[in-house]
Amino acid sequence: MQIILTGDVMLGRMVNSVLDRDRYTYVWGDTIDIFREADLSLVNLECVISSKGSEWSKTFKVFHFRANPDAIRVLKTASIDYVSLANNHTLDYGNEALDEMLCLLKESGISYSGAGRNLKEAMAPSVLHLGNTRIGVTALTDNQPEWEATADSAGVNYIPLSLENGYADRLKECITSAREKSDIVIASSHVGPHFRESPSAEYVNFAHRAIDLGADVYWGHSNHMPQGIEIYKGRPILYDCGDFIDDYAVDRQHRNDLSFIFRLSAERGKIDSIELVPTMIHDFHASTAPSSEADLVMRRMAYRCGRLGTKCIIEKGRISIPVYRP
């Protein structure tokens, strides 16, 4: 079984203007076959998909990302099975836009978690079925606390890294709920500041807690550049998967245009290896990275993984990481 994870997929702004190119395949570039060949493909959707709503203005916010409803066709064309909605752009155009996106995703058969019309919906895991194996995905964010869903208001599944004031119980409830319904549990997390080469001690503790509570994979995104992978108690923690599709300016030091497709292999309900395929963003689309950029991002990733005690095998333009359970 092969499960693909990526970082942020932002289909708004300038990307929105090219969505229909090449029969809705343009933004995926030459990576599209990797998604189509996988058993499951999961991405963080870093925008709202809607034709409705107006820019969030209740509190100060610089960036607002919205893609038109054709973005659903873009996701379907690449055989995307799941999108995480727990992030800082899901409510960029308010509740009306969020509600339309939830309807569009449901109608298209694309699963999601991390946001909803109330807290119960936002906390609920998505359960994907692959043969006899159930993959549960719970999603959370520490961004935009003002967007926290409540018992009677729409929003995101907000959980701060500190886990203070009862949020430790919420994290436990989210993962336990996914665990009860699934054979493999993935915890999707959009947390922390941007452009950090390594996770903070607080973030490491948070990810460890998620694994201790029952997650099999920790899937982080938000940092705009990939952080290292740790194998903790035989389970992979992808601290941050970076950016996959967007129209952002490129920081020449951090190279936020470079990342990976993270391909997890699983057998009998356990992740046994991870393959990283180097990718690059150019002209509002993803592509496999050319050799010089691939070498750069692989060297950086191997170093960051090494600091977390993880050995990377670099061969034939890919990184391989074995996952051994104690």
Euclidean distance between CA atoms 134 and 130, whole angstroms: 6
Residue numbers of the domain that contains 55: 2-322
- For residues 298-321, b (16+ Cβ closer than 10 Å) or e, as one string? bebbbebbeebebebeeeeebbbb
* pLDDT reported for residue 85: 99
Regions of the chain short of the pLDDT cut 70 = none
* pLDDT reported for residue 146: 98
CATH code of 260's domain: 3.60.21.10
Instruction: Report pLDDT digits (tens) over 122-179.
Output: 999 999 999 999 999 999 999 999 999 999 999 999 999 999 999 999 999 999 999 9
Q: What percent of the chain has pLDDT over 90?
A: 98
Euclidean distance between CA atoms 196 and 169, whole angstroms: 28
Q: Residue 287: CB partners within 8 Å, gap ≥ 6?
A: 29, 30, 31, 279, 280, 281
Q: Provide the CA 179 distance to its chain's centre, in angstroms.
A: 19
Exposed, middle or buried by CB within 10 Å (0-12, 13-18, 19+), for 33? exposed
* pLDDT reported for residue 240: 99
Rg (CA), the chain: 18
- Would you say the C-alpha torsion 19, 24, 26, 32 has a positive or negative sign? positive
Whether 232 contacts 211, CB under 8 Å? yes
pTM above 0.95, yes or no: yes
Q: How many domains does the chain have?
A: 1
* pLDDT reported for residue 268: 86
* pLDDT reported for residue 325: 80
Count Cα neighbours of 229 within 13 Å in the Cβ-side half-sphere.
30
Of 217, 321, 310, 225, nearest to 276 (Cα)?
321
Q: Provide the CA 139 distance to its chain's centre, in angstroms.
A: 9
Q: Residue 86: CB partners within 8 Å, gap ≥ 6?
A: 113, 114, 115, 122, 139, 140, 141, 156, 157, 188, 189, 190
Q: Residue 166: CB partners within 8 Å, gap ≥ 6?
A: none
53 secondary structure, DSSP code: -
CA distances, 249 to each of 26, 85, 116, 254, 283 (Å): 19, 23, 31, 11, 11
Of 4, 6, 2, nearest to 260 (Cα)?
6
